[in-house]
Structure 1
Amino acid sequence: MKDATTIFGIRAVIEAIESGETIDKIFIQKGLSGELFSELKRTLSKGNFNISYVPQEKLYKLSKGNHQGVVAKISPIAFKGLEETVEPILAKKEAPFFLLLDQVNDVRNFGAIIRTAECCGVDAIIIPEKGAAPINADTVKTSAGAVFKIPICKVSHIKDAVFYLQSSGIQTVAATEKTNDLIYDIDFKKPSAIIMGNEAKGVSHSILKTIDYKAKLPMHGEIASLNVSVACGAFLYEVVRQRI
């Protein structure tokens, strides 16, 4: 069975995958077994899917019928490949502008970030296949439709995207409190990519070791951090300010 964004039932999920639907996330009941489930596993082994193993109660909340232990979320957009997206942008623009999200997993934060990124002229957003917020009705609504206006690429690992962008002459800048350097000290007139991190953990340590610059926003209050969508907006608009 299927509604606007959800498929449930093992056979329905298998058929959706085989027909080329853009599957955003698959929820599988813990301990599931059986011949049909084995067929599903064989189908999943042919691709790289974002899978969560969850209690049965979670599936009842996600579906409206007999889920058979499996629920899948369909993305309302088709995700782009990294190279097929980046290469034409590099060919057309002297100073391209990319945004990488390292496991931002709240759909409303994600939607708000997409909206701001579109307003700031970001050329493409890059997210990981696993650990990122899904693009669902809440994401679309919070983005005010911007999700349909900006390319969103999915990659196996954000670190690989960082290496690829660096090899293409793009400076990579991570938003992190683990530095003394302010965002205002970075020259964003150059081709640039900004990396924003997970709501709780920030940009992962492995990525911080690979990027070109770390930068933070000045904080004068007692609270030590900003919401990631707010911080992202401040970073993106610093790029806009410098390029005006």
Structure 2
Amino acid sequence: MERRSILSDGEGDCRGSWFPYEDRFNFGEVHLSSREVLEAVSPHMMEERIDRFKRVVENRSFSVCLVVEGLADFGNISATFRSADALGIQSVHVVSCDSSKRYNGNRHVSMGAEKWLDIEFWDTPKECFEVLKSRGYRIATTHLGMDTVSIYDMDWSCPTAIVVGNEGKGISDEALELSDLCCSIPMNGMVDSFNVSVAAGILMHHAVSDRITRLGSHGDLSESEKEILTAEFSLRHSRSSISIAYEFAKRKRHSASF
């Protein structure tokens, strides 16, 4: 199955305007809509699973995304992914900066969160940030400095990419130079930093909580976007789901030829 994605130009609005999928699932020469995918696959899935997909999609958003830059510990990356999924953040980005140390998932840490997230990989912060800005995100790096803004003083209803950096060195100079603002979690103890996966979890949790306060909910997909993402999840569910959809597409093609 081949999937197509679309990118949104411009700055977007504070409700979030970027959504990566068209309502078009390609199965060879046949295209199915999300409704057709669900028509094909749903009868072969347990109702509990279908209801779970609907609940998850209801609280999903692309308006906040996570970027992990230069993390050395794959366990930390997996832990941030697990938190992103649990909090309803669908889009995550990995900036490796070292092609010899490409991330590969640790399912024992992430609990399989990678399966349900949209993960993009980048070689440099510049490459990543340029694309994110074209999608309407502001880039907020976690960093302590003179111009740092407390996460509690930010309006998280605006599309924002949260960037966390290397466990020891923090955010790279290149990422700092290209970011729109620096933010930090106020510290009240003797230590001045959190573990990176803990910091990412706190940031995402506060972003979601702030969005709920301001907007009434974190999830902000339109009804058509919810249906598309539900269909996407139903195909990620298992290989048999994809096979069932392929058979449905074959029957559609056959009936169209008469």
SS of match in other structure, 2:168: coil
The equivalences for 1:112-151 within 5 A come to 112-131=79-98, 134-136=103-105, 139-151=106-118
Matched, 1:240 2:188: no
> What is the Cα deviation at residue 85 of structure 1?
7.2
AA at the equivalent of 2:149: D
Q: What is the alpha-carbon distance in structure 1 between the residues aligned to residue 21 and residue 158 of structure 2?
A: 15
TM-score by length of 1: 0.59
Verify the 8 A CA contact 2:148 2:181 in the aligned structure 1: no
Q: What is the alpha-carbon distance in structure 2 between the residues aligned to residue 200 and residue 111 of structure 1?
A: 18
Structure 1 residues not aligned, in runs of 5+:
1-80
Verify the 8 A CA contact 1:189 1:243 in the aligned structure 2: yes
Verify the 8 A CA contact 1:89 1:123 in the aligned structure 2: no
Verify the 8 A CA contact 2:142 2:184 in the aligned structure 1: yes
Structural RMSD (CA) = 2.6
Q: How many residues align?
A: 161
Alpha-carbon spacing, 1:103–1:85, altered in 2? closer, same or farther (3 Å): farther
TM-score by length of 2: 0.56
The structure, 1 or 2, with the larger RCO (C-alpha pairs under 8 Å, 6+ apart) is: 2
Structure 2 residues not aligned, in runs of 5+:
9-17, 23-59, 213-258
Alpha-carbon spacing, 1:124–1:95, altered in 2? closer, same or farther (3 Å): closer
The equivalences for 1:29-40 within 5 A come to none
- Candidates 152, 177, 183, aligned match of 1:184: 152
SS of match in other structure, 1:89: coil
Q: Which residue in 2 is equivalent to 1:163? A: 130
Q: Identity over the aligned pairs, expressed in percent? A: 27
Q: What is the alpha-carbon distance in structure 1 between the residues aligned to residue 115 and residue 139 of structure 2?
A: 25
Verify the 8 A CA contact 1:181 1:214 in the aligned structure 2: yes
> What is the Cα deviation at residue 91 of structure 1?
7.3
> What is the Cα deviation at residue 235 of structure 1?
0.4
Verify the 8 A CA contact 2:62 2:90 in the aligned structure 1: no
**Higher normalized helix content (fraction of residues):** 2
Q: What is the alpha-carbon distance in structure 1 between the residues aligned to residue 96 and residue 157 of structure 2?
A: 30
- Candidates 147, 155, 163, aligned match of 1:195: 163
SS of match in other structure, 2:94: strand
AA at the equivalent of 1:226: F
Verify the 8 A CA contact 2:5 2:20 in the aligned structure 1: no
